[in-house]
Structure 1
Amino acid sequence: MTTFALILTGLIGLEHLGVMFLEMFAGPHTQANAFDMPITFLKQENAQIALSNQGIYNGALGLLIISSLFLFNGATLLTVMRLLMFFIMIVGTYGGLTATRKIFILQLLPATVTFILLFL
């Protein structure tokens, strides 16, 4: 089951890179649909700056997850992945409560399932 969990972990890393591209490079209309935000808000320069700032964090997290799959092995890899999935669970809970409920399904649920599988 650990191999499957590590594959899921890699997919979660790719998901965070995808979120980064939406936050940093997508147009306001695409962002509005993806993040359940008003288009008028997303057309503001400060909103775009804030979203890009958040995007760089998601990108860094995605790269960290994916690179960790290649940099670590054994018990160290499992520990790192458990910590990263736990971190995503915390952030996903906050985001789901404050931004959009979609985060519960798209980020919190996969991280939680993977977190559990990493202990089997």
Structure 2
Amino acid sequence: MQILTLFVVALVALEHIGIAGLEMFAKPEQQANAFDMPLDFVKDPHAKVALANQGIYNGLLGILILMMILFFTGTTLKIILIMLMLYVIIVAVYGAITASKKIIFLQGLPALVALILVLFFYR
């Protein structure tokens, strides 16, 4: 069950790396569709910079989660993963309140499932 738990946590990490790719490199049409934003807004140079900045955070969060899985074990890893999954959930709730309701399902729900698995099945 521990391997399944780490696999789900890794999927959360890969999701954030994928989101970073969308935020930083996708075409404006794809970004507007993916993030429920008006196309005109996404094409604005200031919005492009803001999305790329947000992409850096998401990408590095994903990489950080993967690095934690690779470099730590036991109780230390469990505490780190609990903190990181809580962080993702909090950010998803904030995003759902301020940006798009679907964020809670697309980012928050996988992190919640991972958190539950870490709490109950990772030793």
- For structure 1, the 5+ residue unaligned runs are none
Instruction: Work out the CA distance in 1 between the residues paired with 2:119 and 2:50.
Output: 36
Question: What percentage of residue pairs aligned between the two structures are identical?
Answer: 49
Give CA deviations for 1:35-94 in whole Å, capped at 9, x if unaligned.
Answer: 000001011000000000000000110000011110101111111111100000100000
- The alignment status of 1:31 with 2:39, answered yes or no, reads no
CA RMSD of superposed structures (Å) = 0.7
Which residue does the alignment assign to 1:74? Answer: 74
**Residues in 1 aligned to 2:66 and 2:101: alpha-carbon distance in whole angstroms:** 26
Cα separation, 2, equivalents of 1:12 and 1:108: 9
Q: In structure 2, what residue type is equivalent to 1:74?
A: G
Partner of 1:91: 91
Q: Unaligned 5+ residue runs, structure 2?
A: none
Whole-angstrom distance in 1 between the partners of 2:111 and 2:15:
11
Residue 4 (1) aligns with residue 22 (2) = no
**d(CA) in 1 for partners of 2:113 and 2:14?**
16
Q: CA deviation at 1:3?
A: 2.3
Q: Residue 119 of structure 1 aligns to a residue in which SS?
A: helix
Q: Give me the TM-score of the superposition, normalised by structure 1.
A: 0.97
Give me the whole-angstrom Cα distance separating, in 2, the residues matched to 1:43 and 1:27: 9
How many residue pairs get aligned? The number is 120
Within-5 A mapping of 1:32-51: 32-51=32-51
Letter in 2 for 1:29: E
Between the aligned partners of 2:94 and 2:111, the Cα distance in structure 1 is 14
